[in-house]
Amino acid sequence: MFLVAGLGNPGNKYSGTRHNVGFRLIDNLAARFSASLKSGKGPYLAAKMVYNSVDIILLRPTTFMNNSGNAIQQALNWYNIPAESCVICYDDLNLETGALRIRRGGSAGGHNGIKDIIQKLSTNQFPRLRIGIGNDSREGQQVKYVLSPFGQKEEVIIEEAMNEAAEAVLTLAAEGVEAAMNKFN
């Protein structure tokens, strides 16, 4: 079994913002596989799907981004999935809009949601799929930037990136981190 968690902030106020590309990816996968997200046994929405004989749990925390750790930890415990079989999908200011990067593990890289997950899981050894949102903000304006929507030209790029990110996640679940890194990095 494999868990795919997309990070974001709950509520209509944040829907469509740069910070919510993780949620958007989960919605993309759920739509592809006609999976319905429902309340889980913790602060998250979850749906089950199957790809290439691999059971995959899609997960959207219902907590705010910076408190994602509890949702991830509870879901991993509930489904009895090790951290190494959980890919966290989230936005990255340091990547060009639409760029994807897969990593096996490592530091939080300044991302507070990942920092919280590392703290709650007591490990940094879980795969990540970072989705570039660009960084067209002035110094000190990053929060405002990540909570803003994409422009029209960026939206086209992000829509393509969501489809590629979905393929990356499916490859990661079915073939492993190395195969996904070789194909999508």
- CATH number (domain holding residue 154): 3.40.50.1470
Q: pLDDT tens across 40-74, in order?
A: 999 999 999 999 999 999 999 999 999 999 999 99
Distance between CA atoms of 125 and 54, rounded to whole angstroms? 21
Domain span at 160: 2-184
Active site residue 19: yes
Distance between CA atoms of 131 and 184, rounded to whole angstroms? 12
CA 47 to chain centre: 15
User: Annotated catalytic residue: which of 18, 19, 60, 128?
Assistant: 19
Query: Does 137 have pLDDT greater than 90?
Result: no
Query: Does 167 have pLDDT greater than 80?
Result: yes
Q: Which residue has the tokens 């590629």?
A: 164
- What's the mean per-residue pLDDT of the chain? 95
Query: Does 89 have pLDDT greater than 80?
Result: yes
User: Given pLDDT bands bounded at 50, 70 and 90, which one contains residue 164?
Assistant: very high
Q: How many domains does the chain have?
A: 1
